Amino acid sequence: MRRGVAVVVGVYRLGGIMTNVLACSRSIKHFLEKIAFGSGWLLVVLMAVTCIDIFGRKLGIPIPLTKFQELEWHLHTAVFSAWMGYNYLINAHPRVDSYTEHFSYRKKAWIELTGCLLFALPYMLVLGHYSIDFFWTSFIQAERSENSLGLDARWLIKGIFVAGLWMIILAILSVAMRLMAYLFGSVDQSAIDLDIGHNELEV
C-alpha cells in the first residue's frame, strides 16, 4: 500500500516538474520567436541598401559603395543569426530523415532527444564557448574592415553572429525540455507543440 502511494506521489511530482519544464521551454520559444520576427524589418533595409548599391554602380553616383556592399553582407548575417535558433524550433532547418519518416512519434522523440543531448548540445556548447573569444578579440582590437573605405566596428556583426549561436543552444534546450516532458512526464503530443523528423514544406 505504502509503495503504491509512493509511486503515485512520485508520478504526481514528476508531472509537476515536467509542467514547469514545459513552461520554461515555451518561454524560450516565445523569446526566440520575438527576435526572429522582430528582425524582419532588416529585410526591408537590406533591400534598400542593395538597390542603392546597384543603382550607384550602374549610374555612377558618387556615394561610398564599399560601405553599402559591406552593409549588405552584414545585414544578411544579422537576419541569418536572428533566425537560426527559431528555425530549429519550428523544424524549418535542412535535414534528411527519410529513414525515420515512418517511425512513430515516440520513437522519433527518443531519436531527437538522444541527438540533442549527445551531439547537438555538446557541439554547440563548445562552439559557443570559443565564439565568445572570437567576438571579444575583435572588440578589444576595435576591428574594422580591411578596406579603408569600408565599415567600422566589425566586432558588432561578429557579436550578432555569436548571439545567433547561443540562440541555437537555447533552441536545443527548448526542444530537449519539451521532449522530456513528453517522454517522461506523460504530457500529450499536442501539448508540447513540436514537429520533429522528416518535414516537407509546400512552396
In the three-class reduction of DSSP (H, G, I as helix; E, B as strand; rest coil), residue 96 is classed as: coil
* Average pLDDT across the chain, whole number: 88
Mean pLDDT of 2-31: 69
- Of the spans 11-20, 148-157, 161-170, which averages the highest pLDDT? 161-170
Contact 91, 150 (CB under 8 A): no
pLDDT at 82 over 50: yes
Closest CA to 179 of 133, 127, 134, 115: 115
Q: Which has more confidence, 126 or 10?
A: 126
For residue 101, the model assigns a pLDDT of 80
Residue 30: pLDDT band by 50, 70, 90 thresholds?
very high
pTM (predicted TM-score): 0.87
Q: What DSSP string runs through 126-157?
A: HHHHHHHHHHHHHHHTT---SSTTS-S-HHHH
For residue 13, the model assigns a pLDDT of 55
Residue 116: pLDDT band by 50, 70, 90 thresholds?
very high
- What type of residue sits at position 66? T
Per-residue pLDDT tens digits for 40-51: 999 999 999 999
Residue 198: pLDDT band by 50, 70, 90 thresholds?
low
